[in-house]
Chains A and B, each alone.
Chain A
Amino acid sequence: MAYTFPFAAIVGQDEMKQAILMSAVDPAMGGVLVLGDRGTGKSTAVRALAALLPPMKAVAGCPYQCDPQQPGRCCQDCQTALASGKRLPTERLAVPVVDLPLGATEDRVVGALDLERALSQGIKAFEPGLLARANRGFLYIDEVNLLEDHLVDLLIDVAASGENVVEREGLSVRHPARFVLVGSGNPEEGELRPQLLDRFGLSVEVKTPADLASRVEVVRRREEFERDPAAFCERWEAQAEKIRKNVLAARKRLHDTLIPDAARHKASELCMALGTDGLRGDMTLLRAARACAALQGSREVGAVHLRQVAPSALRHRLRRHVLDDTGSSTRVERALAEHLPESAGASAQPG
């Protein structure tokens, strides 16, 4: 079996790790886009996400792993079955983290004719694609900026509607495709379209550690992992379990975590100051702050949480100024210093 490098063993990169944990706590917040230099462990971290997610309950045998608790979000078959009052057998499944490899063709992404059956029996049947497999889970695109344009268009559409529609020569299928988009890439290799950027909840920038101690640690752990992955994973199992438990606890706490009005005001103030497009910035910022509060065991969202998540929730939503070359991160930092200063942390928290 293939081992993945354990999340717990990743050195440093706190912002990235925090963002990935937050999207595990509240997938509705939207996924994470990790941008950074070569050799910073971007994809290592994202691939480790799967191991952090608690299993989910799904209708047994459903190709879209429908949730029996939410009939409104089920595929046609499950809906009909549920409507007729049947009790569907369920199974516990690992939350899917589906890799969208570069070079994937459109038919495999959206699903297509079942080749085997069409050729051997002449039967027209739909074979679900990657979008179906990613339903209720995560869709991971490594090197997202190299993704083919027509696939980007497709993803933008499906990610917004939560539904995949296939219409081809009498093959007419629509199925739920609600997934959290997770991407990683190197910004040097090409820009991302703003529409695609918008589909990511958080965006984090990673840099290689500059201090010798952490660099040595990175190399040491990686080397150990490669020599004996099984033993390495076992050694980190206790830590991994701790993180899993924390995620699970945060998930339970999430809906009891309050968002006071003061925090809502502050969030909107920040977004207005930065001129983010639409309301998605505000909403993501609040959701992210709530996930952050839940992870840290706070009962309600405060300025401290907003401040932590604002850079990752907003930096990819800024319009670029023609004459201003200032990096997005710097602009968010500036706005934070102005609207949510460190010293006035208490002001966002009502008594």
Chain B
Amino acid sequence: MKADAADPLAAQVWPLGQDEALAAALLAIDPIGLGGACLRAAAGPWRQAWLDRLQALLPAGTPLRRLPHGASDSALLGGLDLAATLSRGQPVLQPGLLSQANGGLLLLAMAERASADTAAKLASVLDTRQLHVQRDAMAHSQSVQLGVVALDEGLSDDETLPPALQDRLAFWLQPPEPASSEQEALLQAADLEEPQHTQAAHDQAEQVQAARARLAQLPGLDERQLKALCATALALGIDSMRPPLLAARAARAAAALAGAAAVEDEHASLAARLVLAPRATRLPAPDTTDPTDSADQEDAPEPNTQPNIQPDPPPDPPPAPQEQAREQDRQPDESQESDEPEDRDERPSDEQLQEMMIAAASASLSPGLLAALRAGQQARQSAGAGGKAGSAHKNLRRGRPLGAVRGELRGGARLSLLATLRAAAPWQAIRKRGAAPAAANTEGRRIAVRREDFHIMRYKQQRSTTTVFVVDASGSAALHRLAEAKGAVELLLADCYVRRDRVALIAFRGSRADLLLAPTRSLARAKRSLTGLPGGGGTPLAAALDAAHTLAQQIARSGDTPVLVLLTDGRANIARDGSPGRARASEDALAAARPFAASSMSCLLIDTSPQPQPSAQALAQAMRAHYVPLPHADAQGLSQAVRLAQAA
């Protein structure tokens, strides 16, 4: 049975890791029950290899539909087929991608950009296996059973598939950790090669077929196995109840693949590794894992030291017999490892099974995840979920299309022609009848559109952040400080393209504040205008704050979120009207600071003086700014602090 379980893996046809290949096989066996998979990888040979593998394993004719990013509701859910409706004189529903993918898989392209809204629609179909469409004067319900394969190309931690959907997909797969250049070359070679082992692939597809047939007859997991899966999920800090359930289904699929009569512990263990481990948000408490085991991992450059769980067997261009031999070599190890605590006849106790499973799952944590967990960070799946929703706002002119609503063509709104025609369509017969016969004649076959039919487009725009640096260029330390600010601006700009952020710079000295750099995301432009900036003179803090406030308001009006970073020691000596004098200047500065507090703008005050200054603290308080004393600010430290402020 053991050999059977591993057999499909033996046929290494594409440069895929063992676990990834297994995940594809399990998903092909039960695409609907397992919900699908999330592939977090750039478009490339690995992703393509996995998708090809999956497709090869699915029964011929299984629908695979690709849902492009930003697809409209009518494309996704279905809607009125305008042309057919008008020509046939009766409402005709145009099925959406969801009903087209019924019985198969839906590929979600650019999943990291998918909106919570799209995710919720997919999630609801995955949950209820029903599609309810209430659109365009039509009501339609049908049973829709499908799995979702999310192609997540996100790079940073806050670019992920919406968690609501992630939660419902059994497998989270990532390409092997950065391969060496040789491995890369091999991968590419393998990619170019025609898959020669069509026979092996064919066999595997047949095994999957047989497993699909067996799945329905398989009994469920026993109490111990369920308990072990739940305990593992708990130990790995997985809160949601779906992952253990998905793991249970994966275990059944694995048992079906192995041709077993019931789900064995090894299948449950495998499921824990494939489904639960990638979702870990914490390391299991030390008492549940073997301490030496985790110590091993810490030192190990490779994620796993255990022989059985190599996520990326060296991607030799696959000559099958050799590969098979390798796999067979590996099998004894595998059975040895997972059977270790037990004797074949005597089933491991609840605790033993739990420990085994937790150890197996934590052994397969990817090094990146492991490092993140060690550092006490939240794992990627739980981070960055909340922030997105609030920062988007609806817009009539710019952004991603959000569908059409009935409305007037005012304020620059754009007409949604299709939606307007759709709204007008049902009325045509009535309007023609109502019109004077002469008018009806001249109009002929034209479509009568009236004002009530007008639909306008709406767009959703992600608010980007504009960071405004306000730099004190007065006095002796000015030049130094200014250089730091410039460095920070450049650093922030260097990665702002990814986050679509902008940066602006105001410097103040003598009697006035100057806008040195208008809001920009161009690094080149910023560099050009930042060279050669003079320093020295008085500290017109009030004027600087006024200028910053005006700029911030402009930014907010243009639809961005301003973040203010003020670098000063807070010791104003030029009043608003340009006259010298410390007392009045401070008063004016505090007065100028208050509007910031009222507007609840996110502000950061960096105290650049050698010792923290009470005047700077008072100013920060008046502005309700975060106060950060940073006497030896370098560009790096500065940009770090700013990023924290932006996140807050």
Interface residues of A (CB under 8 A from B): 2, 37-41, 43, 47, 99-109, 112-113, 115-116, 118-124, 127, 129-130, 142-143, 146, 148-150, 168-169, 186, 188-191, 208-210, 212, 215-216, 218-220, 222-224, 226-227
Say yes or no: A39-B240 contact (C-beta < 8 A), given A103-B121, A106-B406, A220-B226. yes
**Residue pair A119, B240 in contact (C-beta under 8 Å):** no
Chain A residue at minimum C-beta to C-beta distance from B432: A122
Distance of A219 Cα from B272 Cα, bound (Å): 14
Interface residue B49 (Cβ < 8 Å from any Cβ of A): no
**Residue pair B245, A219 in contact (C-beta under 8 Å):** yes
Say yes or no: A215-B33 contact (C-beta < 8 A), given A105-B134, A143-B120, A168-B452. no
Distance of A107 Cα from B425 Cα, bound (Å): 14
Which residues of B have CB within 8 Å of A127? Answer: 137
Chain B residue at minimum C-beta to C-beta distance from A108: B134
Which residues of A have CB within 8 Å of B233? Answer: 215
**Residue pair A223, B245 in contact (C-beta under 8 Å):** yes
| A131 CB to nearest chain B CB (Å) | 11
Jot down 23 A-B pairs with beta carbons below 8 A, ordered by A. A2-B130, A37-B239, A38-B163, A38-B240, A101-B133, A103-B77, A103-B133, A103-B135, A115-B80, A118-B427, A119-B91, A122-B429, A122-B430, A122-B433, A148-B403, A168-B452, A188-B389, A189-B120, A212-B227, A218-B241, A219-B229, A222-B245, A226-B33
Q: Most chain-B CB neighbours within 10 Å: which of A38, A108, A121, A222?
A: A38
For A186, give its contact among B76, B164, B430, B432 (CB under 8 Å): B164
Interface residue B405 (Cβ < 8 Å from any Cβ of A): yes
**Residue pair B223, A216 in contact (C-beta under 8 Å):** yes
**Residue pair A188, B385 in contact (C-beta under 8 Å):** yes
Distance of A96 Cα from B69 Cα, bound (Å): 36
Which residues of A have CB within 8 Å of B135? Answer: 103-105, 108
| B373 CB to nearest chain A CB (Å) | 20
- Residues 421-456 of B at the A interface (beta carbon under 8 Å): 423, 425-430, 432-433, 450, 452
For B394, give its contact among A142, A149, A169, A188 (CB under 8 Å): A149
For B230, give its contact among A120, A142, A215, A226 (CB under 8 Å): A215
**Residue pair A120, B220 in contact (C-beta under 8 Å):** no
Distance of A189 Cα from B76 Cα, bound (Å): 21
Distance of A39 Cα from B239 Cα, bound (Å): 8
Known contacts A2-B129, A146-B117, A212-B227; 19 additional CB pairs below 8 A are: A101-B121, A103-B77, A105-B136, A108-B135, A113-B427, A115-B80, A115-B138, A116-B90, A142-B124, A143-B124, A148-B403, A188-B385, A188-B386, A188-B389, A208-B239, A208-B241, A209-B241, A219-B241, A224-B220
For A120, give its contact among B89, B167, B406 (CB under 8 Å): B89
Which residues of A have CB within 8 Å of B248? Answer: 219, 223
Which residues of B have CB within 8 Å of A113? Answer: 137, 426-427
Interface residue B244 (Cβ < 8 Å from any Cβ of A): yes
Distance of A270 Cα from B214 Cα, bound (Å): 60
Say yes or no: A103-B241 contact (C-beta < 8 A), given A118-B426, A120-B90, A186-B164. no
Say yes or no: A212-B242 contact (C-beta < 8 A), given A102-B120, A118-B430, A219-B248. no
| B214 CB to nearest chain A CB (Å) | 14
Distance of A215 Cα from B230 Cα, bound (Å): 7
**Residue pair B167, A119 in contact (C-beta under 8 Å):** no
Distance of A219 Cα from B124 Cα, bound (Å): 19
Distance of A190 Cα from B221 Cα, bound (Å): 37
**Residue pair B244, A169 in contact (C-beta under 8 Å):** no
Say yes or no: A219-B133 contact (C-beta < 8 A), given A102-B124, A106-B406, A120-B89. no
Say yes or no: A169-B452 contact (C-beta < 8 A), given A40-B241, A216-B226, A223-B220. yes
Which residues of A have CB within 8 Å of B403? Answer: 148
Which residues of A have CB within 8 Å of B312? Answer: none
Interface residue B377 (Cβ < 8 Å from any Cβ of A): no
Q: Most chain-B CB neighbours within 10 Å: which of A121, A146, A150?
A: A146
| B583 CB to nearest chain A CB (Å) | 31
Which residues of A have CB within 8 Å of B164? Answer: 38, 143, 186, 189
Chain B residue at minimum C-beta to C-beta distance from A104: B134
Summarize B's interface: helix, strand, loop or mixed. Answer: helix
- Chain B: how many interface residues by the 8 Å CB criterion? 69
Interface residue B143 (Cβ < 8 Å from any Cβ of A): yes
Distance of A28 Cα from B403 Cα, bound (Å): 35
| B133 CB to nearest chain A CB (Å) | 7
**Residue pair A190, B116 in contact (C-beta under 8 Å):** yes
Chain A residue at minimum C-beta to C-beta distance from B388: A189
Which residues of B have CB within 8 Å of A150? Answer: 405
Q: Most chain-A CB neighbours within 10 Å: which of B136, B164, B243, B432?
A: B164
Interface residue B390 (Cβ < 8 Å from any Cβ of A): yes
Which residues of B have CB within 8 Å of A123? Answer: 430
Chain A residue at minimum C-beta to C-beta distance from B78: A103
| B311 CB to nearest chain A CB (Å) | 26
Chain B residue at minimum C-beta to C-beta distance from A118: B426
| B265 CB to nearest chain A CB (Å) | 16
Say yes or no: A119-B85 contact (C-beta < 8 A), given A38-B167, A223-B245. yes
Distance of A186 Cα from B220 Cα, bound (Å): 31
B32-74 vs A: 1/0 string, CB under 8 Å?
Answer: 0100000000000000000000000000000000000000010
For A215, give its contact among B132, B244, B249 (CB under 8 Å): B244
- Residues 222-236 of B at the A interface (beta carbon under 8 Å): 223, 226-227, 229-231, 233-234
Which residues of B have CB within 8 Å of A119? Answer: 85, 89-91, 425-426, 428-429
Distance of A216 Cα from B230 Cα, bound (Å): 6
Q: Most chain-A CB neighbours within 10 Å: which of B124, B231, B241?
A: B241
| B648 CB to nearest chain A CB (Å) | 13
**Residue pair B132, A99 in contact (C-beta under 8 Å):** yes
| B66 CB to nearest chain A CB (Å) | 19
Interface residue B295 (Cβ < 8 Å from any Cβ of A): no
Distance of A150 Cα from B168 Cα, bound (Å): 29
Interface residue B203 (Cβ < 8 Å from any Cβ of A): no
Distance of A197 Cα from B602 Cα, bound (Å): 28
Say yes or no: A220-B223 contact (C-beta < 8 A), given A118-B429, A168-B452. yes
B96-134 vs A: 1/0 string, CB under 8 Å?
Answer: 000000000000000000001100110110011110111
Chain B residue at minimum C-beta to C-beta distance from A2: B130
**Residue pair B121, A102 in contact (C-beta under 8 Å):** yes
Interface residue B375 (Cβ < 8 Å from any Cβ of A): no
Distance of A38 Cα from B124 Cα, bound (Å): 13
Which residues of A have CB within 8 Å of B221? Answer: 223
Chain A residue at minimum C-beta to C-beta distance from B121: A102
Distance of A78 Cα from B469 Cα, bound (Å): 69
| A50 CB to nearest chain B CB (Å) | 13
Chain B residue at minimum C-beta to C-beta distance from A322: B600
Chain A residue at minimum C-beta to C-beta distance from B433: A122
Which residues of A have CB within 8 Å of B134? Answer: 100-101, 103-105, 108-109, 129-130
Interface residue B139 (Cβ < 8 Å from any Cβ of A): yes
**Residue pair A121, B429 in contact (C-beta under 8 Å):** yes
**Residue pair B226, A2 in contact (C-beta under 8 Å):** no
User: Top 10 A-B pairs ranked by shortest CB distance?
Assistant: A39-B240, A122-B429, A108-B134, A104-B134, A39-B242, A190-B389, A143-B120, A101-B132, A115-B91, A118-B426
Distance of A211 Cα from B164 Cα, bound (Å): 23
B535-558 vs A: 1/0 string, CB under 8 Å?
Answer: 000000000000000000000000
Which residues of B have CB within 8 Å of A102? Answer: 117, 120-121, 124
Which residues of A have CB within 8 Å of B121? Answer: 101-103
- Residues 400-434 of B at the A interface (beta carbon under 8 Å): 403, 405-406, 423, 425-430, 432-433
Which residues of A have CB within 8 Å of B239? Answer: 37-39, 208
Q: Most chain-A CB neighbours within 10 Å: which of B128, B230, B403, B405?
A: B230
Distance of A123 Cα from B433 Cα, bound (Å): 10
Distance of A112 Cα from B138 Cα, bound (Å): 10
Distance of A105 Cα from B234 Cα, bound (Å): 41
Which residues of B have CB within 8 Å of A219? Answer: 226, 229-230, 241, 244-245, 248
Distance of A186 Cα from B553 Cα, bound (Å): 33
**Residue pair B226, A146 in contact (C-beta under 8 Å):** no
Which residues of A have CB within 8 Å of B430? Answer: 118, 122-124
| A336 CB to nearest chain B CB (Å) | 27
